[in-house]
Amino acid sequence: MLSKDSLQFLDDLKANNNRDWFLDNKKRYEVFKKDYQQLVGDFLDAMKPLDPSLEMLEIKNCTFRINRDIRFSKDKSPYKDHIGVWLSSGAKGKNRSGYYVHIARAGSFIAGGFYCPEADDLKKVRKEIAYFYEDLEEIIKNKSFKKEYTDFDRNEKNLLKNPPRGYEKDHPAIEFLKLKSFETSQKFDINEVTDEDFVSKMTKKLIVLKPLNDFINRALTSEE
């Protein structure tokens, strides 16, 4: 769980997103940072026994810097006004599927899968789907998955209109093969983060995504 003070800090930061205010509130930030790291530690403690691939993760592997990269952004706000928790077995320099928790006043959600893979990784995932689509169908049709997530997130940005190169339009897994990103998500109320059972409740929902992550990571590691 997070403290109400941490949520208030994020709200105040959003309303005063500038360096002077941040420096004046540096002590509040340090308290917030410890609370953030504790939350990540709680997720690791809850998730590691359920997914052994996360065993080597440390808190520092799962957090994000509060400073925004504004070099190529029209929005020059220097600080992030949200929290992200990323749990993935990927070693440094290796992209992998994983679990994500996003805490923001503008919209909080949990998610999992493989977000916008690069071309080589995308080819590997599509190849795995093409040959073993029955495995993926079984995962997506599982009752627990259907209850929590229903399907992959699908929108114009992550879905091809036509079959990808090398695949016929009548391939039995064509609707999976058209995807350019392989993630699914579920929204939650930001006020839930102050509940004592927040981590345990979200862990039960996140671990439902383990078979999907295993399938995608199998594709990514099959030729290494």
pLDDT digits 0-9 by tens, 73-106: 888 999 999 999 999 987 555 689 999 999 999 9
What is the rounded distance in angstroms from the CA atom of residue 190 to the CA atom of residue 202? 12
185 pLDDT band, cuts 50/70/90, is very high
Q: Is the pTM of this model over 0.85?
A: yes
Nearest to residue 121, comparing CAs of 216, 7, 18? 216
Domain ranges of the chain: 4-221
101 backbone dihedrals φ, ψ, rounded to 5°? -125, 125
What is the rounded distance in angstroms from the CA atom of residue 198 to the CA atom of residue 120? 37
Find the radius of gyration of the CA atoms of the chain: 19
CB atoms within 10 A of CB 195: 13
170 pLDDT band, cuts 50/70/90, is very high
